[in-house]
């Protein structure tokens, strides 16, 4: 009950983050739908993937909710057992998150032929549509956090 009571203080911040996230997801969706194909020229490619990923994660309210509701309480419990348990919790969590992203990057790197195909264009457009759907959910959640009935 104390934790839930504390979360109400974050609703405005989570609402704003959700709305900004919705706008950014719509931008990414638009960019994905516009893709006509890809030519791989490793000397000239500057996709800014790291910065796009950083902004997408920064504007996603779900990591904040995770840390407020699950991560921080679990980390506090782990620290009560020992500092090594807390370190193991954080190391395990980030090893899984980063490991999954490295695996995806590796698989994409191995599929250069697919990136040149028509299938890639269609998959990109489908994923753009999925991003737009998620943007609608973020918009709805943001408005709810701000107390605007949706």
pLDDT digits (tens, 9 = 90+) for 44-91: 656 677 788 788 888 888 788 788 767 888 888 888 999 999 999 999
Contact 2, 129 (CB under 8 A): no
Query: pLDDT value at position 2?
Result: 52
pLDDT digits (tens, 9 = 90+) for 1-21: 355 455 556 788 878 888 988
């Amino acid at each position: 009950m104390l934790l839930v009571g504390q979360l109400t203080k974050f609703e405005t911040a989570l609402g704003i983050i959700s709305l900004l996230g919705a706008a950014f997801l719509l931008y990414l969706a638009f960019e994905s739908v516009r893709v006509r194909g890809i030519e791989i020229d490793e000397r000239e490619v500057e996709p800014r993937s790291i910065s796009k990923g950083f902004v997408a994660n920064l504007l996603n309210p779900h990591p904040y909710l995770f840390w407020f509701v699950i991560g921080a309480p679990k980390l506090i419990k782990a620290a009560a057992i020992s500092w090594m348990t807390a370190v193991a919790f954080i190391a395990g969590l980030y090893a899984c998150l980063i490991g999954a992203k490295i695996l995806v990057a590796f698989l994409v790197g191995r599929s250069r032929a697919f990136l040149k195909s028509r299938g890639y264009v269609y998959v990109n457009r489908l994923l753009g549509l999925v991003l737009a759907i998620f943007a609608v959910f973020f918009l709805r959640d943001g408005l709810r956090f701000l107390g605007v009935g949706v």
